[in-house]
Amino acid sequence: QSVLTQPPSVSGAPGQRVTISCTGSSSNIGAGYDVHWYQQLPGTAPKLLIYDNRKRPSGVPDRFSGSKSGTSASLAITGLQAEDEADYYCQSYDNSPYWVFGGGTRLTVL
């Protein structure tokens, strides 16, 4: 099982807002390490979506936002679109084994 815990799936209708949670512990998120989020479309490599908890790389729409509090983090997607259907992973750093991921969340656009 993954060091960071994510819900296996979430869903929403076009135009709606969805959130994906990422729960860690005192050795990773709770220790102050940054949380990053990746989007993985079917059959492709992961793409950096949010870094350092809430920053967006160039080209990522502002419909995607991130937040962090305590031992958890969240990814929010507003104005849901069909093209957002993908797997989403959170990632952080841990005292051991260093770089850790969540188990991934499958987003279905209804």
Partner 1 sequence: EVQLVESGGGLVQPGGSLRLSCAVSGFSLGDYDMYWVRQGIGKGLEWVSMIGYAGDTYYPGSVKGRFTISRESAKKSLYLQMNSLRAGDTAVYFCARAFGSSFDLWGQGTLVTVAS
Q: Is 74 in the site for partner 1 (CB under 8 A)?
A: no
Residue 57: what are its φ and ψ, rounded to 5°? -65, 160
Q: Whole-number minimum distance, CB 44 to partner 1, in Å?
A: 8
Which residue type, as a one-letter code, is found at position 50? Answer: I
Q: Which is nearer to partner 1, 8 or 13 (CB)?
A: 8
34 binds partner 1 per the rule CB under 8 A: yes
Rule CB under 8 A: is residue 32 a binding residue for partner 1? no
Site for partner 1 in 39-68 (CB under 8 A): 44-48, 51-52, 57
Residue 36 binding partner 1, by CB under 8 A: yes
Residue ranges in contact with partner 1 by CB under 8 A: 2, 33-34, 36, 38, 44-48, 51-52, 57, 89, 91-93, 97-104
